[in-house]
Amino acid sequence: MRGLYYERLKTWLLVFLVLLSLVLTYFLWTYKPDLMEQDSEAVEVNEIGEEKSIQDVIRPSKIVKHQFGESFMVLETDDLFDEIYQTLLNADLYETNAFPQTDVTTGIEFVFPDRIPMGMFMSLFSQDRQEDEFPLRGVDRVLLYEDEPDNGVKLQVYSSGDKAPFEIPTSFQASDLQRFLDDDTAVPAITVNEPNTDSYILNQENIYIPSGEIAYARQQYSTERVPADDITKTLFPDPQTVRNYRQSNGEFTYTDGTRILNLRDNENFMTYRNSSISDSTNSSTSSIPQTSFDYINNHHGWTNDYVLSRWRESNERESAVYRLFVNNLPVFNFKNSRDSMTIQVEKSGTQTTSYERPLLKLDPTPIDEQNIELQSGVSVLEKLEAAENLDLTNVQDVRVGYEMIDQDNQRGLVTFEPAWYVFTSNSNGWQKVPAEGGANELE
């Protein structure tokens, strides 16, 4: 009897264990841990800014209207500037023509700060077009005009390296083009370089500046700083292996042995170097502007408005520079340092080897604003011509930009002061044109 009792007990125990196993198996299969929220938080830590589109970082430095034998500039701070450019980007492009018209005298010229690689230029537009459909390697300038015989609007595209424009028919509306040309907010323009009589407007490569006095806003912003922890979690594969120390000059250094990050000027700026080169002989199929854009986008690194301003490539290394823009104007100086308010990315082969940038983030809107009238373009040109140390043939661009000034007695506040700047082929960067005298200080 006792044996029968034990047998029944073992049978019920076995049944219980089988049922328990089934229940546990069910929970194991159906269990969904709350990983999405954790992952989202982890990704959020590594995002130091926001993601951008190509259209956000590629924009012309100047828009010039040509009509009645004269040139007129649309100021960067005028709403018309963005409206014209955005209307162009919304247009479709059609088949190309290698022999564009030479007698075009009326149209709108767009000047870019550097040659835009053809692949990036095409990606600005809505439709999917192949890069090899177009004969140029890049685009410096474009001219939008109406071909009156068929009332179609066409685009002449130009590269300073090829010196031969080609033509692209577009879906741009002739009525929109005429409306932009009729708008009277543009200001008369003069050219810094000597007049060029080439039959193509784009081939003349004119450096345009407003001829008269112009007013731009002096703006003040409050700032915050990207935390050092967010930077290290973004740039180091395993933040647990990172060690940090403070140097004698006050800079903070973080390193994992192959990568090194220096934070300077009260952690407002960073320099990152990566020496873990896997294979520098393999070159990327994409241009450095595209790969650098992707690199910054991958960690949502756009902390404010930055625009592609310069890029270079060679067999040894490639580099791209994105400059901070405020109120649609470039920022050239900060604390007597040229190009400090830029994001710079360098590559060797397929590896990003250097990453330099400011860690300051401006609040979205200024806390103070006041219009400042600048000297006329005619006066600026006279100063450039009179400068003993400046050869006018070396001038590559002249434009209005901002100097960024921090407030010694008000931490976290910066002021952007508008001024004229000049860039020459033999200089280390943009130089401020003195407002009063001092032209010979220019290099």
- Given a cut of 50, whether residue 39 has pLDDT beyond it is no
Q: What percent of the chain has pLDDT over 90?
A: 58
What residue spans define the domains of the chain?
54-211, 223-359, 365-441
- Given a cut of 80, whether residue 125 has pLDDT beyond it is yes
pLDDT of 163: 78
Q: Report how far residue 167's alpha carbon sits from residue 176's, in angstroms, rounded to the nearest whole number.
A: 19
pLDDT of 37: 35
The phi, psi pair for 300, rounded to 5°, reads 50, 55
Q: Report how far residue 303's alpha carbon sits from residue 386's, in angstroms, rounded to the nearest whole number.
A: 40
What contacts 425, CB < 8 A, 6 or more positions away?
A: 394, 396
pLDDT in tens, 346-399: 998 888 999 999 999 999 999 999 999 999 999 999 999 999 888 898 999 999
Q: Report how far residue 346's alpha carbon sits from residue 335's, in angstroms, rounded to the nearest whole number.
A: 24
User: pTM here?
Assistant: 0.86
Assess contact for 352 and 345: CB atoms under 8 A: yes
* Distances from the Cα of 98 to the Cα of 114, 167, 288, 343, 441, angstroms: 23, 6, 27, 37, 45
- Given a cut of 70, whether residue 304 has pLDDT beyond it is yes
Class of domain 223-359: alpha beta
* Distances from the Cα of 301 to the Cα of 50, 52, 294, angstroms: 6, 9, 10
Once rounded to an integer, what is the mean pLDDT over residues 77-90? 96
